[in-house]
């Protein structure tokens, strides 16, 4: 009897020690998995202290009345972003990160059911900015799904505010993680004037997890297993960033940036030049189909009638030509729809004020890429042809409005010539993009 009891006690102790060993190996394996040798992190011992105790705010884009981008199958951006945000929260919570969610169900923050869509989108955006600035969080990760009128583009991409070096490093770390874990993707982290990035006071990144306008990627975004991979990739990239910041002893938080309620305002970009134009020609900015970055290729279009027009008349003709899209045979992609979407146009010295229709939002379809390209297709085209310093865009005559839920318009916008490769395409030239 004594022998049996002794054997029973030894068995319990052995099982308990075995259980502790399993738990220890699991924890070590988890953190070793976060710091694989092929990543630029050589101090895995820093990871627990670098990540644990941080506060991260996760923003699931759109929601409630605003579905965001919608795919051909009816898949809505707001559903995808919320699901990925919840999965990402679980990853962070496992390593001692306190997570604040801007939403955990299908809601918006417009608080004005009777208001129009433009007003509700603006209020929702500003509420999220205020929530981020009042959260005392260390980082903000905003999750969105991209869209473009044509289905050629694909690939996840991170965006950051160029005024915050920490945001750029965070975006690059997450972008690298997305590329290495999700397969072929030639996109790189890119600066953008998203309101959620520009108006928050902490390092922030917007992760566009893919193009819902691409049939193959829409199918992937509907797959729970793929969403799990997306969440894991975002988590890993963030962990790498925090570890690198801890290793370099660089502070993560910063007080630089705008305050709540900021808009897409004039910003100083690198001193790059536009192409030189011959008399009787116009330079129109269309998107390149290279599926690597959001970039333009200027098309030089002969328009002899411009030589006899006043500056305002010239602007009207150029916008009409922009709405017609790329020239026949061109592989370039239109960023704006055909038809008459300009309600008003006036020139004030070196600035143009353009009032556009809110119907552009339908063409943009909630995508951050399509909204950004539409804005700068218009701004760059007017700036280069009329020698302007900035362009102000109103929506249905309203200031501080948004077309796709990412940019708040109404303040002067400076052109961004760096969004395009060097050189210009002549109308009818097919270029070499299809061979890239």
What size, in residues, is the chain?
A: 436
Please tell me which residue, 177 or 34, carries the higher pLDDT value. 177
Output DSSP code: residue 274: P
User: Looking at residues 188-193, what average pLDDT do you find?
Assistant: 94
Q: Where is 290: in which H helix or E strand?
A: none
DSSP string, 369-411: HHHHHHHHHHHHHHHHHHT-SEEEEEETTBSS--SSSS---SS
The total of other beta-carbon atoms located within 10 Å of residue 67's CB is 17
Has residue 32 got a pLDDT over 70?
no
The pLDDT tens digits for 41-59 are 333 445 667 788 899 999 9
Q: So what's the pLDDT on residue 52?
A: 80
Residue of 23 and 175 predicted with greater confidence: 175
Q: Could you give the percent of the chain with pLDDT greater than 90?
A: 62
Is pLDDT larger for residue 294 or for residue 7?
A: 294
Pick 120 or 10 by higher pLDDT. Answer: 120
Tell whether the model's pLDDT for residue 273 goes beyond 60.
no
Other CB atoms within 10 Å distance of the CB of residue 17: 10
Helix (H, G, I), strand (E, B) or coil at 122: helix
Query: What are the sequence ranges of the domains in the chain?
Result: 26-248, 281-435
Residue 23 has pLDDT above 60, yes or no: no
Tell me what pLDDT residue 274 has.
Answer: 64
pLDDT of residue 36: 42
What band does 283 get if pLDDT is binned at 50, 70 and 90? very high
Distance, in Å, from the CA atom of 301 to the CA atom of 27, rounded to the nearest integer, reads: 62
Is the per-residue pLDDT at 232 higher than 60? yes
Kindly list the distances between the CA atom of residue 326 and the CA atoms of 214, 338, 373, in Å, as whole numbers in the listed order: 21, 11, 14
With a cut of 60, say whether residue 106 has pLDDT above it: yes
pTM, rounded to two decimals: 0.79
| pLDDT number for residue 206 | 98
Query: For residues 352 and 386, is the Cβ–Cβ distance under 8 A?
Result: yes
Burial class (CB in 10 A: 0-12, 13-18, 19+), 21: exposed
Phi and psi at residue 155, in whole multiples of 5°? 105, 135
Residue 50: predicted pLDDT = 78
**254-264 as b/e: b if 16+ CB within 10 A:** eeebbebebbb
The whole-angstrom separation of Cα 412 and Cα 56 is 32
For 353-392, the pLDDT digits (tens) are 999 999 998 888 878 889 999 999 999 999 999 999 999 9
Could you identify the residue written with the tokens 């938080």? 253
The pLDDT of 212-233, averaged and rounded, is 97
26-248, superfamily in CATH?
Zn-dependent exopeptidases (3.40.630.40)
pLDDT above 70: residue 37 = no
At residue 249 the predicted structure's pLDDT band, cuts being 50, 70 and 90, is: low
Rg (CA), the chain: 25
Assigned token pair, 9: 């006690």
Q: Which residue has the higher pLDDT, 259 or 105?
A: 105
Asked if residue 432 has pLDDT above 60, the reply is: no
Query: Residues 121-143: what's their mean pLDDT?
Result: 95
């Amino acid at each position: 009897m004594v022998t049996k009891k002794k054997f029973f006690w030894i068995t319990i102790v052995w099982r308990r020690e075995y259980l502790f060993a399993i738990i220890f190996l699991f924890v070590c394996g988890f953190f070793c998995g976060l710091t694989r040798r092929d990543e630029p992190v050589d101090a895995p011992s820093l990871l627990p202290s670098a990540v644990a105790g941080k506060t991260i705010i996760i923003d699931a884009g759109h929601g409630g009345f605003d579905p965001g981008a919608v795919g051909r199958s009816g898949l809505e951006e707001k559903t995808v972003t919320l699901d990925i945000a919840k999965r990402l929260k679980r990853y962070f919570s496992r390593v001692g990160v306190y997570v604040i969610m801007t939403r955990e169900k299908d809601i918006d923050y417009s608080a004005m059911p009777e208001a129009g869509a433009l007003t509700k989108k603006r209020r929702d955006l500003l509420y999220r900015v205020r929530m981020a600035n009042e959260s005392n969080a260390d980082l903000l990760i905003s999750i969105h799904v991209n869209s473009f009128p044509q289905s050629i583009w694909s690939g996840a991409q991170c965006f950051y505010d160029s005024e915050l070096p920490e945001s750029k490093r965070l975006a690059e770390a997450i972008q690298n993680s997305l590329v290495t874990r999700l397969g072929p993707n030639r996109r790189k982290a890119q600066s953008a004037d998203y309101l959620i990035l520009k108006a928050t006071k902490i390092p922030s990144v917007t992760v566009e997890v893919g193009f819902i306008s691409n049939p193959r990627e829409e199918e992937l975004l509907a797959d729970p297993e793929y969403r799990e991979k997306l969440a894991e990739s975002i988590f890993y990239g963030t962990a790498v960033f925090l570890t690198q910041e801890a290793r370099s002893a660089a502070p993560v938080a910063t007080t630089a940036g705008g305050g709540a309620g900021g808009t897409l305002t004039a910003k100083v970009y690198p001193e790059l030049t536009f192409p030189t134009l011959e008399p009787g020609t116009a330079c129109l900015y269309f998107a390149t189909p290279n599926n690597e970055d959001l970039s333009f290729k200027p098309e030089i279009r002969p328009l002899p009638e411009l030589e006899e027009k006043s500056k305002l008349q010239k602007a009207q003709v150029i916008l009409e030509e922009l709405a017609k899209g790329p020239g026949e045979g061109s592989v370039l992609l239109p960023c704006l729809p055909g038809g008459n979407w300009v309600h008003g146009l006036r020139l004030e010295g070196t600035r143009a004020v353009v009032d556009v229709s809110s119907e552009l939002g339908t063409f943009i379809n909630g995508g951050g890429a399509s909204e950004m390209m539409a804005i700068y297709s218009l701004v760059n085209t007017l700036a280069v042809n009329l020698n302007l310093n900035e362009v102000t865009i109103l929506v249905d005559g309203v200031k501080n409005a948004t077309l796709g839920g990412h940019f708040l318009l109404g303040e002067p916008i400076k052109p961004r010539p760096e969004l395009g490769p060097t050189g210009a395409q002549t109308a009818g030239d097919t270029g070499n993009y299809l061979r890239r």
